Amino acid sequence: MKYLLDTNVIVAYLRGKQAIDTKIIQAGAGISVITKAELVYGSYKSNRPSQNLKLILSMLTDLEIQTINLSDEIIDVYGQTKAYLENKGNKLDEFDLLIAATVIAKKLILVTDNHRHFRRIKGLKLC
């Protein structure tokens, strides 16, 4: 696996607004368990929870997108990164910070539409 897909990329894909580059899928793509949680939450919040849950699971299966669970390594990177940002006077959403920590710990590249948001994180590779 080489890439981690941010929640906004998955949502745009599911809404038919944006394709996911086939080179990214072929190189190996995953999502954080945090992204999966956000997608499930969004499904239950929608008018068609059952249909949306099936759509998400189908997409993950069809595109062979793996889910990366949290680990001690990811949590350690999260702690370091959060402390670094706070010491610099910056804050970032907790979920985004956990997604970024996953990318750094697993030495991946984050595919996101929100470069400006993540740019502050040292050591994070963006696509």
* Structural domain spans, the chain: 3-118
Please, what CATH class does the domain formed by 3-118 belong to? alpha beta
pLDDT tens profile 88-115: 998 888 999 999 999 999 999 999 998 8
Strand-pair partners of 29: 3
Question: pLDDT tens digit string along 22-68?
Answer: 999 999 999 999 999 999 999 999 999 999 999 999 999 999 999 99
**76 marked ligand binding residue:** no
113 is in an annotated binding site: no
Q: Could you tell me the sign of the dihedral formed by the alpha carbons of 44, 52, 34, 111, in that order? A: negative
For residue 122, what pLDDT band results from cuts at 50, 70 and 90?
A: confident
- Is the pLDDT score of 87 beyond 90? yes
Contact 75, 106 (CB under 8 A): no
Closest C-alpha among 63, 50, 46 to residue 10: 63
